[in-house]
Structure 1
Amino acid sequence: MEIRQLLALGTTMLAMASAPAFAQDSREPYVRVAEIEIDPGQLESYKAAVNEQIEAAVRLEPGVLALYAVADKENPARILVFEMYADVEAYRAHLETDHFKKYKFTTQDMVKSLKLRDAVPIRLGAKPR
């Protein structure tokens, strides 16, 4: 790679890293990772609620590109949710849906902690079904 290409790449990466998540180009996918700690005694109820929410969001919202919820193998009450939206506007619209509001209300006493992390896609790939 030539020095000019490296400089351009470095400048682009710096600009992306320093920009706030909501200021990103609205044509780029908006990606978040949620780290959720669930009360172990309510884990099965939480799984039912997150399954219902993901099914509805993927089916009803064109801006929801992917939602994946997985449990830590060693600590099943630690849930990671990978969220990808068409853009930040699709994410904002998702937060206003009835099914998301129902999920938040239903799970509020199940969630012991929640960390939301904005992410920048490096490379996304999936096989078609």
Structure 2
Amino acid sequence: MTTSRLAVTARFDIIPGKEAAFMKEMKKQAENSLSLEPDCHYFDICVDVDNPGRIILYELYEDAAAFEEHLASRHFAEFVETITPMITAKEIERWNRV
């Protein structure tokens, strides 16, 4: 059985006034994920048209194991520690790419 690539969506609601600081860290995280993780193929950051405090990510990994490696990475741990005080909510969903 072949494994399919894993798509991940993540939504963040940011504390008003923290949008610029959050986006700086988010862009750094995207760059790190793409440059340090060979099985991270795509990392797109999108901002809600009507609410600049709502961010959604679309990430694509080779497989579920690659995403688990992402979660275990040092740069991810540092990112989470830095952005946690900036957000009010987050939602992570995993999708099999067809």
TM-score category of the 2 structures, normalised to the smaller one: over 0.9
Q: Does 1:88 align with 2:64?
A: yes
Cα RMSD for the two superposed structures: 1.3
Q: Does 1:75 align with 2:51?
A: yes
Q: Which has the higher helix share?
A: 1
**SS of match in other structure, 2:3:** coil
Larger radius of gyration between Structure 1 and Structure 2: 1
Q: Which consecutive segments of 4 or more residues in structure 1 shift more than 4 A? A: none
Q: Which has the higher strand share?
A: 2
The structure, 1 or 2, with the larger RCO (C-alpha pairs under 8 Å, 6+ apart) is 2
- Structure 1 unpaired stretches of 5+: 1-24, 123-129
Deviations 1:30-59 (A, max 9, x none): 111111101121110000000001101101
Q: Is the Cα–Cα contact under 8 Å of residues 26 and 88 in structure 1 kept in the other structure?
A: no
Matched residues in 2 for 1:26 and 1:45: separation?
Answer: 40
The letter for the 1-side match of 2:10 is: A
Report the CA distance shift for 1:76/1:26 in structure 2 as closer, same or farther (over 3 A): farther
- Structure 2 unpaired stretches of 5+: none
Q: Percent identity?
A: 24
TM-score for both structures, normalised by structure 1: 0.72
Question: Number of matched residues?
Answer: 98
Q: Is the Cα–Cα contact under 8 Å of residues 26 and 87 in structure 1 kept in the other structure?
A: no
